[in-house]
Amino acid sequence: MKPTLVVLAAGMGSRYGGLKQMDGLGPNNETIIDYSIYDAVRAGFGKVVYIVREYFKEQFQEIVKQKYSKVLCTDGSPLEFQFVTQELDKIPEGFSVNPERVKPWGTAHAVLMAAEAVKEPFAVINGDDYYGRDSFRILGEWLQAHGDSTGEYCIVGFTLENTLSESGGVSRGICSYDKEGNLVDVVEFHNIAKGEDGVVRGDNSVTGQNEVLDADNLCSMNMWGFTPDYFEKSAAIFKDFLAANSQELKKEYYIPYAVDCMIKDGGDKCCVLSTPSRWFGVTFKEDRPGVVAKFAELVKEGVYPSPLYE
């Protein structure tokens, strides 16, 4: 069974200043999503499900239709695509939304929108992050090996130093895990940056303290692997979340929170996989030239063809 790739592409990219999902950064105007799909197909994925917003869904579908119409999976079958939308009012019956709230309910809410479209093991990624081919290979192998399991998930952890931005502080979820390699906790740190002294520091979101961080720590870049039983469990947790937060203006239902509930309350396991890949992305507009240069270098090294899709 070929796993599915779920791409979180509904965000506007407020810090970046536009729709990062459609920004051409490769030598032939390729987007970051283009490279993710290329790597996912080589890793054995057979379907892509995009989570988008209704206001740009039609434009997005047309771009995908034109760009990927001839893409074949490793077994020679056509790559499948589906599109689902994340909107603020897409919540379970019996709950109301604060009329002043603007944003939808976060990444775990976005994944729930794909429940009807995904019946196989699946990966979740951000549409505006470059993860690297090794990351998709590692994740694809895990999903294919655990296709018949339940209550077992995974996260691909990136070395913290390989995820920093030269343009400013970033937020990262630092992973802690037990001796078997299973996730224990993900603690969010903000304003993470390397100082002039070479030391990496960040603000702990729980304590509010600025702390020295190990540059070799594994951190979450929102690259997860799940089996379909995730949806039912996450939907139940979301109802509990809404019962406490439905009138809030900014609180969001994030994937790490959902997984944490499954681990601590449901006895599930989440394996922490490590990748040698170096993450990069366009968190800030100032990141763009560096990302363009990195893709040009990857093409020069022969990692990717140019153009990526004929």
Q: Tens digit of pLDDT for each residue in 132-170?
A: 999 999 999 999 999 888 999 999 999 999 999 877 898
Q: How do 4-8 and 47-52 pair as beta strands?
A: parallel
Give tens-digit pLDDT for 63-83.
888 888 889 999 999 999 999
The dihedral through the CA atoms of 306, 130, 133, 298 has a sign that is: positive
Q: What was the pLDDT predicted at 7?
A: 95
Q: What was the pLDDT predicted at 23?
A: 75
pLDDT at 21 over 70: no
Q: How confident is the model at residue 35 (pLDDT cuts 50, 70, 90)?
A: very high
Rounded to two decimals, the pTM is 0.92
pLDDT at 235 over 70: yes
Q: What was the pLDDT predicted at 18?
A: 47
Instruction: Measure the CA dihedral 129/133/135/140, to 10°.
Output: 120
Q: How do 218-226 and 210-213 pair as beta strands?
A: unpaired
Q: How confident is the model at residue 242 (pLDDT cuts 50, 70, 90)?
A: very high
Cα(239)–Cα(187) distance, integer angstroms: 23
Q: How confident is the model at residue 130 (pLDDT cuts 50, 70, 90)?
A: very high
Backbone torsion region of residue 7, taken as left when φ is above 0, otherwise alpha when ψ lies between -120 and 50, otherwise beta: beta
Q: For residue 239, give both structure tokens.
A: 């109802």
Q: What percent of the chain has pLDDT over 70?
A: 96
Kindly list the structural domains of the chain, giving each domain's residue range(s) and its CATH number in brackets, ordered by start.
Answer: 4-300 (3.90.550.10)
**133-145 helix and 32-42 helix, angle to the nearest 10 degrees:** 50
Reduced to 3 states (helix: H, G, I; strand: E, B; else coil), residue 170 is: strand
Q: How confident is the model at residue 88 (pLDDT cuts 50, 70, 90)?
A: confident
Q: What was the pLDDT predicted at 281?
A: 83
Phi, psi for 291 (deg, rounded to 5): -70, -40
pLDDT at 231 over 90: yes
What's the average model confidence in pLDDT over 252-278? 93
Q: How confident is the model at residue 19 (pLDDT cuts 50, 70, 90)?
A: low
Q: Are 20 and 282 in contact (CB under 8 A)?
A: yes
What's the average model confidence in pLDDT over 176-204? 93
Reduced to 3 states (helix: H, G, I; strand: E, B; else coil), residue 113 is: coil
Cα(259)–Cα(280) distance, integer angstroms: 25
Q: For residue 203, give both structure tokens.
A: 């603000």
